[in-house]
Chains A and B, each alone.
Chain A
Amino acid sequence: GENVEQHPSTLSVQEGDSAVIKCTYSDSASNYFPWYKQELGKRPQLIIDIRSNVGEKKDQRIAVTLNKTAKHFSLHITETQPEDSAVYFCAATINQGGKLIFGQGTELSVKP
């Protein structure tokens, strides 16, 4: 079945440093890859997404890269701030609107 693997499970960085979270997916038909930030007890918030016809997408301090051949995608956060501390999830789906499968999550801690 579909599977999304996410690493690392925890990540601690100093304020101002960059953070990178990596995900791999199993289904070569997957073509939509969103990233979510979730605070404790809250709903996931979409922070960036990428479709399979694009290799990279950037939005201010956040970027996502996709390697379809290797079936992996990564989230890059630059100039991290304490308020970036949260749990981040990658996800993948076959077709927009199809079922969304989540990675295991990464707990990011940004130390001031």
Chain B
Amino acid sequence: GAVVSQHPSRVICKSGTSVKIECRSLDFQATTMFWYRQFPKQSLMLMATSNEGSKATYEQGVEKDKFLINHASLTLSTLTVTSAHPEDSSFYICSATTGDFLYGYTFGSGTRLTVV
């Protein structure tokens, strides 16, 4: 089946620094990648949608200059949290689909970000 590898699984960073999270589709081409944020005991909140080679589309209330998304190839998308603050501490998870929806929505394993 389709696999999306997400790294790192856990990261602790100092306030004011930037953190990059990677999602790679290992055995399929991810035409579209979605990025979600999940706070403890809450739902997955969609942050942005990115299509390979295009600028990401951000959901209302999500700062595009703070959460930089790059989807430069059909197998790699990255989310960079810039100038992280403690309130950015959360579980970040990606989800990928192919243009023909052959594998449905394939989720990465998630990244637990803690900003201290």
Contacts and interface: CB of A to CB of B under 8 A. Distances in A.
Interface residues of A, number: 18
B105 A43 contact: no
A41 B112 contact: yes
Contact of A46 (B31, B46, B104, B110): B104
The range of chain B's interface size is 20 to 34
Given A44-B107, A89-B44, A105-B43, A97 B32 contact: yes
A93 to B, nearest CB: 9
A76 B108 CA distance: 27
A24 to B, nearest CB: 15
Given A96-B101, A97-B97, A97-B101, A105 B42 contact: yes
A contacts with B: majority SS: loop
Nearest to A95: B101
Nearest to B95: A100
A21 to B, nearest CB: 13
A65 B49 CA distance: 28
Contacts of A104: 42-43
Contacts of B43: 89, 102-105
A40 B57 CA distance: 28
Contacts of B69: none
B115 interface: no
Interface in A75-108: 89, 96-97, 99-105
A43 B109 contact: yes
B54 interface: no
Residue in B95, B105, B109 whose Cβ sees the most chain A Cβ within 10 Å: B105
Interface in A31-54: 34, 41-44, 46, 49
Contact of B107 (A41, A43, A96, A105): A43
18 contacts: A34-B104, A43-B107, A44-B44, A44-B107, A46-B105, A89-B44, A97-B31, A97-B32, A97-B97, A97-B98, A99-B49, A100-B34, A100-B46, A101-B46, A102-B36, A104-B42, A105-B42, A105-B43
Interface of A: 1, 34, 41-44, 46, 49, 89, 96-97, 99-105
